[in-house]
Structures are given as C-alpha cells and as structure tokens.
C-alpha cells in the first residue's frame, strides 16, 4: 500500500518514499508546449508548489522521476535547461526585509554558478543573471507564491510594509519583458493578482491561466483521480467510519469537493482529502492551516452583511484582481479560496460565486461568529444550539435571551470601528442561523422596498426588520410596506418581528412580534 504524500512539495520524494503521485503531466505538457509566460492563481495548500517543482524537474531533465507518468515518452528530457526558481515562502524577508532577502538569494545563486555580478542592486542582478545564463542557453524562471511578501502585511498597521514590498517586487520584475530572447519559459504562481497599475504592469505579457478551461484541473483532485489512486484508502475508511463506499464518496464530496475556476469542472481540496485519509476522520483540515483573521476583520470594518457572500453574481473584473489601497472583499474571498465559481453564464459574462463546500462554509461562518461576538467557540456553539431550538419551537422570549447572549460580549473598542451597526448585528443573526441550517434570506428586494430578513422554519415564517432605536419603528415599517405579502399564500404562520438595537449598550434594546391574521 503506497503512502500518502501529505505536505510533500518535491517530486523526487514521491519516488524515493513510495508515495502516491497524482499524474498531472498531460496538462503540464500542454502548458509548456503552448506558450512561454504564465500566471496561475490558486488558494494556499492546493498543490501550486508541487506543480512548480514538477516543472523544475522536467526542464532539468530528470527523466527517471517520470517513469510512471504520461509525459515520460512525450518530452525530450535530454534537452536540459538552467532553472532559476524563487520560492517566496523560503525567503526570510520578515527578519531581513524583502530587498535584502532577494539580494542574498541572488548572490548565493550566482556564487554556486561562479557568476560575478556587475550590477549593484537586486533588480539589476536578476536581469544580469538571466542574461549571463541565457546567452549560453535560454533559462527557465519559476516563481512560487510571488505575493506572499504583500499578503502577509495587509493588516491596517502593516500596509506601509505591504506597499513597500509591492514597490520592491515591481522593480524586481521590471525589465523581464526585454529579456525575452534569454527566456525559454516563465511561470509565476500566487494567491492574488494585484492590479495592472502595480506589479503586473511590467509583466503584462503574462497569460493568466487562472480561469482557463484547459488548465482548470492542473492542481487539485478530480473525483476520478481519487477513485483511481486512493482506492485502498477509501476501503480503509469505509471500515473505520462504518459507511458504504457510495455514502463515503458522497460525504467526501460534500466536505471537500466544489472548487472550480471555470464553473464546469469541480475539484477536491488535495490537502483536506489527504488529511482525511491520514486521520481516518472528517475535519476542517484546510481551514485550520490558516484562519482568515484579516478577511473577517476587513468585512467587519466595511460593515458588509455576511449574507452578501453567498450565491453572488459578479463579472470577472470584480474577482480577478485587487489593489492594496482599495481591497475588494469579494476578490479576497475568491482568491483565497473561501468563494469559488459555481456557474458561468457566457451570454451575460457573469459568474456565480459561492462557498466551495461544507468545510469552508461551516468553518468560515463559525470562525466569523466567534470573531463578531468575541466568544469562545464552545460557548458560541452552545448558544447557537439553544437559539435554533427556541426558534424552531416558536419560543420567542427564549430566542431573544440567547440572541442577547451572543451580543453581550462585543467589546467597546471594537464597536467604535463599526460603520454599519444594523449590518453588524444582522450578520451575527444570519451567521448563527446559517450554521445550524435554518433557512434565512436577507435584503429581499420588492416593489415596496427591501426586507431585512426572512426566516423559515417548519411551523413559521418570520419577517424581520432591524432598527437602531425602537422596535416599534421596525414593526411599523414591516406593516406599512407589507413585507409579508409574498408569503401570505404559505400555510405556515407568519410572524412579524421588529428588533431595536441600542448603540451605546451594544445590544438589543427591545423587540415586538405580531402574528399576521391571514
């Protein structure tokens, strides 16, 4: 039984240690025979580094590593190239600063090749290195996680460092376009794509294959790849979890499938799938490798309701790139893997974005609720359980007690930065109910206005309005604008629900409910 390659990013280790390797070389072959300059964006822990290493081994001519792969007899491994590979995860820019880290990398690389630089700085040295090596034979340049020195510093108090690093990277890539005759292949990966007015303005000849159909499966696992390569592990899991194979595959699909960059081919998160096989149980493995503290903080500061990030229709430009000075939350969520493409409408050129799967959706919602309420996860889960039970049993007073319990820990310092109080409290209610699978729809448009929220249980339909101030104003608005009208034909009881919030107390001031007489 071959072993799992969990966390392995070097192709040579798969051969040495008898690990399972998912063969992506047919797609890679298409990539390297179709063009020269490429950019690929994918979330963290999705196989980008292994892809870069595989390209390195192909161009270095290490044919013995590809014995059992598609490309073995399709590529001339005798035609070897010098590979300049820069992995920004390995540069110590935190201690030394990015400029110094790049200088040290280039100096060390040149020393190994017995090259002496004339140029004094990192940008000049990089171009000099390409030219000196490329005059003998064209070089291959592979850059992994190019944006890490920027995205590591996107917190408000660190933006100056992010901006400085962006300028350094812009200088670093300046002139690459003029080195074309010395370059055989250029490939760059990252999580994000910053706007054309910054880094990529000097690399505008790159082909962005992030959403290209031909390369949508270049990293990540397809269902067929899992069945073909991990059959023994699937059998092992059916015994451990006491599930049929069909039920197990359905559960794996629910938890870890759902990523797509073309709206047609859907992929499994490789790190989560391998962690499942290793631990023999389901868990939020990918999410736990990097919690989205910055993202949630950004959403809160912007006062964006969390309901805005579910099943949203956008054009490509709204998630394709972003600027440090004007970070777009949708772009951030998409590029970091918390949203993915579920459908593409070519006629309207619109994409439907949503959570990829259960792991991402549930983890993000629970983490966000903990962040919004400033409570420990175990306590939040207990309150949410009681909140849900009270709502389903129409115990309104108990529901409001639990809701107040969620709000009571919001710190005063945090409340000072809230721009949209109604949206903030609205988000807490939305997230809490969404976690438990309660139907809740927010900001429903009609000819009479926008209904804040509608909650549906087996027994009731609750029409909610939130107001800073008194609940009387909220309930009056529901009645005056007849927000309940779309639901009067439903057999369930309709309950009008007005909630007033107190800004100073940072909690619910009062509430009023009225049952609608149909």
Return the structure tokens found at 59: 């161009």
- The CA distances from residue 147 to 40, 104, 120, 121, 169, in Å, are 12, 19, 24, 21, 9
Domains identified in the chain and CATH numbers: 11-215 (3.40.50), 221-357 (no CATH), 374-515 (3.40.1350.10)
Phi, psi of 71 (to 5 degrees): -80, -10
Using one digit for the tens of pLDDT, what is the confidence trace for 275-331?
999 999 999 999 998 888 888 888 887 777 788 888 899 987 777 666 777 778 888
**Separation between Cα atoms, residue 233 and residue 502, nearest integer Å:** 54
**Most distant CA pair in the chain, distance:** 87
Give the model's pLDDT for residue 418.
58
pTM confidence score: 0.89
Give the model's pLDDT for residue 196.
43
Q: Which of 183-192, 365-374, 489-498 has the lowest mean pLDDT?
A: 365-374
Where is pLDDT greater, at 209 or 373?
209
Over residues 341-345, mean pLDDT: 94
Using one digit for the tens of pLDDT, what is the confidence trace for 7-21?
999 999 999 999 999
Using one digit for the tens of pLDDT, what is the confidence trace for 251-291?
999 999 999 999 999 999 999 999 999 999 999 999 998 88
Comparing CA positions, the residue from 106, 127, 104, 120 lying closest to residue 174 is 127
DSSP 458-499: SSEEEEEEEEES-HHHHHHHHHHTTTTGGGTTSSSEEEEEEE
Calculate the CA 288 to chain-centre distance: 13
Over residues 122-140, mean pLDDT: 96
**Separation between Cα atoms, residue 31 and residue 33, nearest integer Å:** 6
Over residues 146-159, mean pLDDT: 88
The alpha carbon dihedral of 365, 471, 456, 419 has a sign of negative
pLDDT beyond 90 at 95 = no
């Amino acid at each position: 039984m071959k072993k799992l390659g969990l966390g392995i990013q070097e192709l040579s280790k798969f051969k040495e240690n008898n690990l399972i390797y998912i063969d992506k070389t047919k797609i890679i072959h298409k990539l390297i025979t179709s063009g020269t300059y490429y950019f690929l964006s994918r979330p963290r822990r999705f196989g980008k580094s292994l892809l870069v290493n595989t390209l390195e081994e192909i161009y270095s001519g290490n044919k013995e590593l590809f014995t059992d792969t598609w490309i073995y007899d399709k590529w001339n491994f005798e035609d070897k190239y010098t590979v300049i590979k820069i992995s920004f995860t390995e540069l110590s820019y935190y201690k030394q600063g990015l400029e110094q880290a790049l200088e040290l990398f280039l100096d060390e690389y040149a020393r190994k090749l017995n090259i002496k630089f004339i140029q004094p700085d990192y940008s000049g040295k990089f171009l000099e290195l390409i030219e000196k090596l490329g005059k003998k034979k064209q070089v291959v340049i592979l850059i992994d996680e190019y944006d890490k020195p920027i995205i590591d510093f996107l917190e408000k108090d660190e933006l100056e460092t992010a901006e400085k690093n962006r300028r350094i990277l812009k200088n670093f890539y300046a002139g690459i376009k003029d080195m074309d005759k010395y370059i055989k292949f250029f490939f760059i990966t990252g999580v994000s794509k910053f706007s054309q007015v910054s880094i990529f303005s000097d690399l505008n000849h790159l082909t962005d294959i992030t959403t290209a159909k031909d390369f949508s499966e270049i990293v990540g696992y397809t269902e067929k790849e899992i069945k073909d390569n991990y059959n023994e592990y699937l059998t092992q899991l059916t015994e451990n979890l006491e599930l049929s194979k069909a039920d197990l595959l359905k559960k794996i699909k629910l938890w870890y499938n759902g990523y797509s960059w073309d709206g047609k081919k859907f992929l499994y998160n490789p790190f989560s799938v391998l962690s499942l096989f290793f631990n023999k149980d389901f868990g939020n493995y990918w999410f736990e490798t990097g919690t989205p503290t910055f993202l949630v903080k950004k959403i809160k500061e912007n006062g964006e309701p969390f309901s805005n990030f579910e099943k949203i229709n956008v054009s490509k430009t709204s998630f394709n790139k972003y600027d440090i000075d004007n970070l777009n939350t949708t772009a951030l969520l998409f590029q970091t893997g918390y949203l993915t493409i579920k459908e593409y409408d070519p006629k309207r050129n619109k994409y439907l974005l949503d959570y990829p799967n259960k792991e991402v959706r549930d983890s993000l919602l629970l983490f966000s609720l903990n962040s919004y309420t400033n409570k420990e996860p175990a306590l939040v889960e207990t309150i949410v359980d009681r909140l849900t039970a009270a709502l389903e049993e129409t115990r309104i007073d108990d529901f409001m007690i639990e809701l107040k319990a969620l709000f009571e820990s919001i710190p005063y310092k945090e409340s000072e930065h809230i721009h949209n109080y109604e949206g903030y409290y609205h988000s807490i209610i939305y997230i809490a109910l969404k976690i438990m699978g309660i139907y809740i729809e927010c900001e429903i448009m009609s000819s009479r206005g926008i209904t804040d929220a509608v909650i549906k249980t087996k027994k009731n339909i609750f029409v909610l309005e939130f107001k800073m101030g008194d609940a009387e104003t909220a309930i009056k608005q529901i009645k005056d604008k007849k927000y309940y009208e779309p639901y009067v034909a439903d057999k369930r009881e309709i309950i009008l629900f007005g909630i007033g919030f107190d800004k100073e107390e940072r909690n619910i001031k009062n509430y009023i409910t009225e049952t609608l007489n149909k």
